[in-house]
Copies of this chain bind each other. A is one copy, B any other.
Amino acid sequence: MTLISISDIDKAHSKIEQRITRTPLITNESINSLTNAKVYFKLENLQQTGSFKIRGASHKISLLSEEQKDKGVVAYSSGNHGQAVACASSDHHINATIVMPKNAPKIKLENTKSYGAQIIQYDPLKENREKIGLDIAAKSNKTLIKPYDDLDIICGQGTVGKEIAEQLQDENITPDIYLCCCGGGGLIAGSSFYLKNKFSNIKNYSVEPEGFNDTQLSLQKKRIIPNATSSHSICDALLAPQPGKISFAINKLTLEGGLVVSDLEVKKTIKEIAESLKLMTEPGGAVAAAAVLSKKIDIEGKTIVVMLSGGNIDYDFFLKIIKENYE
């Protein structure tokens, strides 16, 4: 079964390319010598709204009918998807309602508000965000903009894979490995699919935080496995309860397997990226880099593409992380 094609992603890209930033793909000597590998970072933390999510959201919203646009949209999100939907809605003068957890990073809450969206906060320990979102959509005839389990969203996120492929081809680089964070699996589905098509020998791996390794387990069992318990992780962007149906249907065909990193490994990585690359990354955005720096797979001498997916981290938390001594 073919759910998406390269041309779907190419089309999505031509729809949104004026709206998004073609983010840099950079390598850094300190990181390369630390890892004995050639590591290329895709800087989606420099993307508009501070994460890749604007790609999918602006693609999806650009496809709505005039009637749907009049009624408005609703989204549930730990923050980055919410910001992106709010921002893309504001572009199209659409009303947006965003359902966000009470404990979302302040920076994500404030940014979402700044785009004029209505925010509804919920308690993630007691309430189900999907249900709240669906209820609002049903009552008000608003269109629900899902965070990942939607082909239009996946094709939108996949445009980052197109950019990576072009940036690598411009430099005559053939990648061995692609590492990408994975929450519900939309970003990795679109981007890995694109890269696998352009570089047939590439090995794609999902990277998840400890306790939220539902995609790793699902890939092992070849069926969707939810996270066993409600663990805790600092990676607020990657806490989806289980892989999306559509995203997993793609991922099970294009991924080699899944990797897992600890909160401590993520913190060390945020510090290393600040030191070597002068970049602010959020925990969920740094897991793929953490897998490289913690050498979760054999990367010796290899060419690796690492997704840095977002930079929306509260300043206090960022400082706490970069000031800590992890020796």
Binding site for B on A (CB under 8 A): 21, 23-24, 26-30, 43, 45-46, 48, 50, 274, 277-281, 311, 315-316, 318-319, 322-323
Contacts and interface: CB of A to CB of B under 8 A. Distances in A.
B46 A278 contact: yes
Contact of A24 (B26, B30, B278): B26
B48 A29 contact: yes
Contacts of A50: 278
Q: Which of A46, A278, A279 has the most CB of B within 10 A?
A: A278
A29 B48 CA distance: 7
A274 B278 contact: no
A322 B317 CA distance: 12
Contacts of A323: 315-316, 319
Given A274-B315, A278-B280, A315-B323, 20 more contacts: A21-B29, A23-B26, A24-B26, A26-B46, A28-B46, A28-B48, A29-B48, A30-B48, A46-B277, A46-B278, A46-B279, A50-B278, A274-B280, A278-B311, A279-B279, A279-B280, A315-B319, A318-B319, A319-B319, A319-B323
Q: Which of A280, A281, A311, A316 has the most CB of B within 10 A?
A: A280
Contacts of A46: 24, 26, 28, 277-279
A167 B323 CA distance: 36
A249 B106 CA distance: 50
8 contacts: A21-B29, A23-B26, A26-B46, A29-B48, A30-B48, A278-B280, A280-B280, A315-B323
